[in-house]
Structure 1
Amino acid sequence: MAQKIKKGDTVQVISGKDKGKRGEVIQVLPKEEKLIVRGVNIVKRHQRPTGQMRQGGIIEKEAPLYWSKVMLVCPSCDKATRVGFRVLEDGSKVRYCKKCGEIIDKK
C-alpha cells in the first residue's frame, strides 16, 4: 500500500495534547503505523552518561505518534488536507491535495 505521509512532509496534529501544531516528519515507522514529527510530542527522558561524549541528565526528544492523529499540510494551499492518488499520463502515481487538487509530490 502506498504511503500518504512521507519523510520531509509538513503535517498538522489533529488530536491530542499537541492539537493544531505543525511540524516536519523526521521519520516514518510503517510497521508500527507511527511517525516522528519535529517539535511535536516532546517527552523528557533521563539519560545516563555514556562514555566521554555524552553528558547525562534530563533530555527532551520527540516521541512517535500514530499517523491517524496527523493530516498532511498541502504546500500550495497551506491547509491540512486528505491525500488522494492519481496516475499521470506517463504512468507515474502521485499524491494530490483533495482540497485544491494540486499535486503534492515533487518531480
Structure 2
Amino acid sequence: MTKLHIKKGDTVYVNAGTEKGKTGKVVRVLIDKQRAIVEGLNMVSKSQKPSAKNPQGGIVKMEAPIHISNLNVVDPKDGKTPTRIGRRLNEAGKLVRFAKKSGEEIK
C-alpha cells in the first residue's frame, strides 16, 4: 500500500487537463487506481436506467476521477497557491503533513 499526498477533505489545485487552474474539495480517493474525485470538477455525462431512486432515468452529470499526479494540495496559509507536501513529527510526536511552501501544518 502506498502513501498518497492527498486525503479526503483536502482542497486541491488541478495542474493539468481540461480543469487546469481550478480548485476543489476531494470527495473520495481511489487508492488502488491512484485517482481522486474532486467536487464539481471533471464533470461527465452518464446515462442511467430508471430506478427507485431515479424513476425517470436519463442523462446524469457526475464527477469523474482525476489522477493524483495532476493534483496539488492548496497551501492552508493563503488558501490559493498549490504546494507540495512533506511529513514531519509535531510536538506531540505524531507524524503530520505540512506545506513545503509555508511550513504550516495541514490538518
TM-score of the alignment, normalized to the shorter chain, above 0.5: yes
Partner Cα separation in structure 2 for residue 18 and residue 85 of structure 1: 28
Q: What RMSD in Å do the two structures reach over aligned CA positions?
A: 1.1
Aligned to 1:102: 104
In the alignment, which residue of structure 2 is the partner of 1:82? Answer: 84
Greater Cα offset, 58-67 or 70-79 = 70-79
Aligned length: 104
1:2-34, Cα deviation, whole Å (9 max, x unpaired)? 331110000010000000111000000111100
Residue 32 (structure 1) aligns with:
33
Instruction: List structure 1 segments (4+ residues) > 6 angstroms apart after TM superposition.
Output: none
Question: Could you list the per-position Cα deviations for residues 31-52 of structure 1 after superposition, in whole angstroms to 9, with x for gaps in the alignment?
Answer: 110010001110000111013x
Runs of at least 5 residues in structure 2 that lack an aligned partner in the other structure: none
Partner amino acid for 2:34?
E
Counterpart AA for 2:92: D
| 2-structure distance, mates of 1:2, 1:35 | 14
Query: 1:5 corresponds to which residue?
Result: 6
**What SS is found at the alignment partner of 1:15?**
coil
Give percent identity, aligned residues only.
Answer: 44
Letter in 2 for 1:46: S
- 2:4 and 2:91 mapped to 1: Cα distance? 21
TM-score by length of 1: 0.91
